[in-house]
Amino acid sequence: MTAGQSPEFEPIVGRYLKLAIGGEALRIYLEEAGEGIPLLCLHTAGADSRQYRHMLNDAAITERFRVVAFDLPYHGRSNPPDGWWLRKYQLTSAGYLACIRGVWTALGLERPVVLGCSMGGAIVLRLAAEFGAELRGIVGLESTAFATGRDNQYLHHPAIHGGELVASYTYGLCAPGSPETSARENWWYYSQSGPGVYAGDVHYYSVDWDGRGDLARIDTSRCKVSLLTGEYDYSCTPDMTRQVAAAIPGSRMVIMKEMGHFPMIENYPLFRSFLLPELAWMAQ
């Protein structure tokens, strides 16, 4: 910035929210931008809400939606609860649901759209089944109802640099045509994950989670369902999402060409061409 030039600020506002969930006091960091229909965004395993910075800066979205993205406890700028050093971090379906619902209740979000990716794209299926009457809809990015085989001892091992291992593994989940700078940005976010946090999230996603029984309980007449999966995603494959869509009558599904596992951060200009029609449908 040269002398006399005004500083350039993004329209994103960040703040901390204090919540009590499951008898624990939590300090949750969240960012938001825009006005209108609440759009609550859930980050991927081991990462944080910085993955949604492009959506928070996209006027085509924020002129119609109040976009809110938050960091789960232990992630990004949200603190772990007191006594975290005395126990092993393992995310569970029940704890995940309680935190998400706690945030939208505390913020007074009326019938929000909940958008989640990867493990976030899994939990939105349970949200639609359990709380569909409270939601306008869900947008599942890289959604599957069942994902075994991800958990292994090397995700948190004293002989292995966990941050670089996880960052490099997830870097490989980006599409080959995604811009290097964007894929590396996601790498950077993953490299900053706390020790054992990614492994604790994978416990939920690959051990605790099984949403196959939830799909038949989702009523798309009251809670819309959009499913968007990248054609290059080999963690949640297109066929895994097709199985979810086939089990939810009235759902919409798009297999995104030239896209991998992290669409909102790895190639946002391409991703928004798939996302904007679904958000327009949600807003109807």
Note whether residue 3 is domain-resident: no
Give pLDDT, residue 140. 98
Q: What is the pLDDT of residues 30-72, one digit of tens each?
A: 999 999 999 999 999 999 999 999 999 999 999 999 999 999 9
pLDDT(1) > 70 = no
Contact partners, residue 251, CB within 8 Å, separation at least 6: 218, 220, 225, 226, 227, 244, 245
Q: Specify the 3-state DSSP secondary structure of 141.
A: strand
CB 122 within 8 A of CB 145: yes
Give pLDDT, residue 150. 77
Tell me how crowded residue 154 is: count the other CB atoms within 10 A of its CB: 12
Give pLDDT, residue 58. 98
Note whether residue 17 is domain-resident: yes
Note whether residue 22 is domain-resident: yes
Residues 151, 247: Cα–Cα separation, whole Å: 26
Note whether residue 1 is domain-resident: no
Instruction: Give the residue among 10, 30, 36, 13 at the shortest CA–CA distance from 279.
Output: 36
State the DSSP H helix or E strand holding residue 66, giving kind and residue range, or none if neither: strand 65-70
Domain count, the chain: 1
CATH number at residue 252: 3.40.50.1820
Q: What is the pLDDT of residues 152-209, one digit of tens each?
A: 776 787 778 778 888 898 999 999 999 999 999 999 999 999 999 999 999 999 899 9
Q: What is the pLDDT of residues 72-120, one digit of tens each?
A: 999 999 999 999 999 999 999 999 999 999 999 999 999 999 999 999 9
Provide the residue range defining the domain that includes 274: 13-283
Note whether residue 2 is domain-resident: no
Note whether residue 4 is domain-resident: no
Note whether residue 187 is domain-resident: yes
State the DSSP H helix or E strand holding residue 154, giving kind and residue range, or none if neither: none
